[in-house]
Structure 1
Amino acid sequence: MSLSTTERAANFCQACAIRNRAICSELDDKEIGVLNQLGRRRVLVPGEQLLWEGDEAVLVANVIDGVLKLSTQTVDGKEQILGLVYPSDFLGRPFGQTTPYGVEALTEANVCVFERRDFDRFAREHPRLEHKLLERTLAELDRTRRWMLLLGRMNAEQKLATFLLEMASRLGETGWKEGNGATGRIIDLPLSRQQIADVLGLTIETVSRQLTKLKKDGLIDLPSRREIAILQPAELEHRAG
């Protein structure tokens, strides 16, 4: 017997790797099927823009896999990276009129994209989804406050240690691999050292010196320019303060 469109959508979402962590996790199969019909899957290549700062907020999206950056333009035209977005994170401004930041893929990324008006209407009709949106908004506010502390009060070593631990935690098992001569688990960095410096408010020279120091102290290994093996996470947490 053939499956209906709603049933196929629900089955597709049940197999999603971030199903239990995404904003739609509180919905039942029927609701998931309806929501899925409102959206579409989109694959982004590194460097591809999903949202533009200041544009009308026409889209919202849920990240399935990959890493994206949030950024804004300063008055002198330079880019300032505001943060990173990981699998299960939600993008866009529901119930808003304009997009407050640009969103660009750092790695290949899969996202579920929805027209904002359709998503807003669905959310109003499903209080559990609205509640999840509120939870995510408050969690994002907490992360922003921690980020302000990181940028304003921590020294360079604390900033870099905190950044590496946060990235390792957010990427989880899907962001790690074994091998390449390192004795620990290795995380693929979606950012260059210059981008890390921009995120942390440091110079690229400072980032390189701190990475070298952490390697010399045996806390990390550097199999390549875009890979870091965290060998002593407990000590790295101590360095992060």
Structure 2
Amino acid sequence: MSQPIALSSEVPATCRACNVRHAGMCAVLTAAELATMARSARRTQHAPGEPLVVEDSKLTSYANVTDGVVKLSRVLRNGRQQVVGLQFAPDLLGRLFGRENLVNVEAASEVDLCRIPKDVLEQLVATNPVLKQRLLDQSLQDLDEARDWMVTLGRKDARQRVASLLLLVARRCGAPGIDDPDRVVFDLPLTRSDMADFLGLTIETVSRQISRLRHEGVVQVANHRHVVIPSLPRLETLAG
């Protein structure tokens, strides 16, 4: 059974002003469910590099990414960090019905979160099959991306890895050109060090491959972070 559409006048004011009100899990909630969640949710803002969740800590709340990009990482026994994923608006942070946080979560860019107590969201999921399916779809998307990334790290060369990462960010948070839909613009949310950790490369190799892509006209980079992809199909081809 489909969920009734929440009329704009019935939706809490905080939700009406939200960037992802019509995306992600909130898009399938009724006005009453949004009101239930809004009563206990809190909005938080975070600067780049700020820790959001600590690995192995008790899971007491979930968070909907309403703006920005976060990075997920694990810390090895020798203290080295491995970036294992990125999440974008409107992704949900936290393993549903889990007891512990399995990864470290850090703001990769300026990030806005809508934090929801664990019991509140889990109760909504238990009573709303459409919401359960929406969150299952996100989990399956995360699994598909993880499998794709296994191929990237296991079989692609350095140039293809860097192109694959740029393609991932372009697809998830890039803004298409007004007159050319193949042109995409975005601010890269990762430092060269983070990119190296994510790709299994050295910082020097990442910088060298970005310079190579610039010389080939595949990307344009200003101030190390502002990226223009003149032709997304060309980047897709180079990413393999």
TM-score (norm 2): 0.88
Residue-by-residue CA offset, 1:103-130 (whole Å, 9 max, x unaligned): 1112221111011122212221222211
Q: Which residue of 2 aligns with 1:71?
A: 73
Which whole-Å CA distance do the structure 2 matches of 1:94 and 1:219 have between them? 39
Aligned partner (choices 22, 27, 30) of residue 28 of structure 1: 30
Q: Quick check: 1:9–1:37 contact (8 Å CA) kept in 2?
A: no
Which amino acid is 1:133 matched to? L
Any conservation in 2 of the 1:72–1:81 contact (CA below 8 Å)? yes
2:44, 2:115 within 8 Å by CA — same for their partners in 1? yes
Q: Which residue of 2 aligns with 1:126?
A: 128
CA positional deviation for 1:187: 2.0
Supply the distance in 2 between the matched residues of 1:99 and 1:12 (Cα, whole angstroms). Answer: 27
What TM-score comes out, normalization by structure 1 length? 0.88
Q: Secondary structure at the match of 1:166?
A: helix
Residues 1:211 and 2:204 aligned together: no
Preserved CA contact (<8 Å) 2:20 2:26: no
**Superposition map of 1:131-142 within 5 A:** 131-142=133-144
Tell me the amino acid that sits aligned with residue 198 of structure 1: D
CA displacement 1:176-195 (0-9 Å, x = unmatched): 99xxxxxx654211111121
2:10·2:31 contact (CA, 8 Å) conserved in 1? no
Q: Is the 8 A contact 1:10 1:30 kept in 2?
A: no
Q: Alpha-carbon deviation of 1:229?
A: 1.8
The number of residue pairs the alignment matches comes to: 229
Q: Of the candidates 161, 165, 168, which is equivalent to residue 167 of structure 2?
A: 165
Runs of 4+, deviation exceeding 4 Å: none
Shift of 1:9: 5.3
Q: Is the partner of 1:23 in helix, strand or coil?
A: helix
CA distance in 1, matches of 2:206, 2:111: 26
Structure 1 residue 45: deviation in Å? 1.7
Deviation at 1:70, TM superposition (A): 0.4
Q: Quick check: 161-170 or 116-125, which moved more? A: 116-125
Identity of aligned residues (%): 37
Q: What is the CA-CA distance between 1:73 and the residue it aligns to?
A: 0.5
Q: Which has the larger displacement, 62-71 or 32-41?
A: 32-41
Gaps of 5+ in 2: 1-8
For residues 117 and 93 of structure 1, the distance between their equivalents in structure 2, rounded to whole angstroms, comes to 13
Question: For each residue in 1:67-86, what CA deviation from the matched residue of structure 2 results, as whole angstroms up to 9, or x when unmatched?
Answer: 11101101211111111111
**RMSD across aligned positions (CA):** 2.1
Q: 1:107 aligns with which of 101, 109, 112?
A: 109
Check whether the contact 2:50–2:107 (CA below 8 A) recurs between aligned residues.
yes
